[in-house]
Amino acid sequence: PGNPEDLPYLLARATTTPEQDIAYTAVIEPYQERRALAGVRRLAPWDGTGPDVAIEVRLADGRRDVILQPADEATLLEVEGGLRFRGTLLLARFSPDGTLAEVLAVRPSTVTIGTAYQRDFVPFVEARVKAFDRGAPRSCTITLDRPISIPDAALRPLWTAITTAPDANGNYPVQGLAERDGGTVLDLGDTSFISGFDEDRQAYTYAFEEGARLEIPLTYHEKLTAP
Whether 144 and 184 have beta carbons less than 8 Å apart is answered as yes
Residues 172 and 191: their CA atoms lie apart, in Å, by 8
Residues 41 and 58: their CA atoms lie apart, in Å, by 9
Average pLDDT for 49-73: 90
- In the chain, pLDDT over 90 holds for what percent of residues? 69
Q: What is the pLDDT of residue 48?
A: 55
Q: pLDDT by residue (tens digit) across 104-141?
A: 999 999 999 999 999 999 999 999 999 999 988 888 99
Average pLDDT for 82-92: 95
Name the amino acid, one letter, at 162. Answer: I
Q: pLDDT by residue (tens digit) across 149-161?
A: 999 999 999 999 9
Strand-pairing partners, residue 35, are none
Question: Is the confidence at residue 22, as pLDDT, over 80?
Answer: no
Q: What is the pLDDT of residue 227?
A: 46
Q: pLDDT by residue (tens digit) across 24-41?
A: 788 888 888 899 999 999
